[in-house]
């Protein structure tokens, strides 16, 4: 039987993507050509993350049926979540807004924040789910341009500032990714979110983080060792 809360969680991610799609016309992402080395890094990194997780943090027991594991963990989750958190949110912030932070960019960040919150608010107010929408998401998203603007004014070392802001954004989006996993949340979502973010940042292609997400979820779902 399909978990209703989980089903609404994925439907909420789809709704978030639909709300953020209008920004794509403005963002116009340009993906780099896929290199095999990034797929290899994705696979090896996910296996390493899984093995380290066995000793460092508590593992999550996924007691869903095989059908649900395949449908949600290995198909929907990697595609939907990486499209949302890496391709849309991280891509827009890294490669469009952050070139020059202004009040207009602050409004864009606010729209992204509310787009991430609206599904949770909708489901909670209609009593479709019991989990309250986490307004920490709003604080995290809006904090990015505020802190970035302040750093731009205080620092004259543009190259190092840009790198710092890039890593800060990857960290924050990973935190959003972690907070969105209220059903199976664990430290692995946060560390994995950072790893997936760096894969997208370095490769400029969405397939490496999708591959990494798929491999990690495969290992968690079936626990080969």
Nearest to 50 by CA among 61, 59, 37: 59
Q: Of the ranges 100-104, 135-139, 150-154, 210-214, which one carries the lowest mean pLDDT score?
A: 150-154
Q: How far apart are CA 181 and CA 151, in angstroms?
A: 31
C-alpha count within 13 angstroms, C-beta hemisphere, residue 199: 33
**Mean pLDDT throughout 153-182?**
73
Q: Which residue has the higher pLDDT, 184 or 177?
A: 177
* Model confidence, pTM: 0.83
Neighbouring residues of 59: CB distance < 8 A, sequence distance ≥ 6: 53, 186, 220, 223
From the centroid of its chain, how far is CA 65? Answer: 25
From the centroid of its chain, how far is CA 217? Answer: 15
pLDDT at res. 10:
78
**80 phi-psi bin (left φ>0, alpha ψ -120 to 50, beta other):** alpha
Residue 93 confidence (pLDDT) above 80: no
Residue 25 confidence (pLDDT) above 80: no
Q: pLDDT digit string (tens) for 28-71?
A: 666 788 899 999 999 999 999 999 888 876 656 666 778 878 88
Most confident of 13-22, 180-189, 194-203: 194-203
Q: How far apart are CA 93 and CA 144, in angstroms?
A: 9
Q: How far apart are CA 141 and CA 179, in angstroms?
A: 12
Kindly report the backbone phi and psi dihedral angles of residue 165, in degrees, each rounded to the nearest multiple of 5, phi listed first: -65, -40
**Mean pLDDT throughout 72-86?**
88
C-alpha count within 13 angstroms, C-beta hemisphere, residue 201: 21
* Averaged confidence pLDDT in the chain: 78
Domain ranges of the chain: 81-225
Q: How far apart are CA 60 and CA 216, in angstroms?
A: 12
CA distances from 59 to 156, 186, 221 (A): 44, 8, 11
């Amino acid at each position: 039987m399909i978990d209703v809360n989980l089903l609404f969680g994925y439907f909420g991610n789809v709704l978030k993507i639909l709300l953020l799609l209008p920004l794509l016309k403005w963002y116009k992402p340009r993906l780099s050509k896929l290199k095999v080395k990034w797929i290899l890094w994705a696979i090896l990194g996910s296996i390493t993350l899984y093995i380290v997780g066995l000793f460092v943090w508590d593992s999550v027991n996924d007691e869903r049926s095989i059908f649900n594991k395949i449908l949600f963990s290995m198909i929907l989750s990697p595609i939907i979540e990486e499209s949302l958190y890496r391709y849309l949110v991280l891509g827009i912030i890294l490669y469009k807004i952050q070139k020059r932070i202004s009040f207009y960019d602050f409004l864009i960040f606010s729209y992204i924040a509310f787009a991430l919150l609206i599904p949770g608010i909708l489901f909670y107010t209609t009593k479709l789910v019991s989990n309250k929408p986490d307004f920490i998401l709003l604080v995290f998203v809006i904090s990015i341009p505020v802190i970035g603007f302040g750093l731009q004014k205080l620092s004259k070392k543009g190259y190092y500032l840009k790198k710092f802001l890039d890593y800060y954004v990857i960290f924050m989006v990973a935190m959003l990714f972690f907070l969105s996993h209220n059903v199976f949340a664990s430290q692995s979502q946060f560390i994995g979110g950072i790893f997936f973010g760096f894969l997208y940042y370095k490769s400029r292609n969405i397939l490496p983080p999708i591959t990494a997400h798929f491999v990690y979820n495969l290992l968690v779902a079936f626990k080969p060792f």
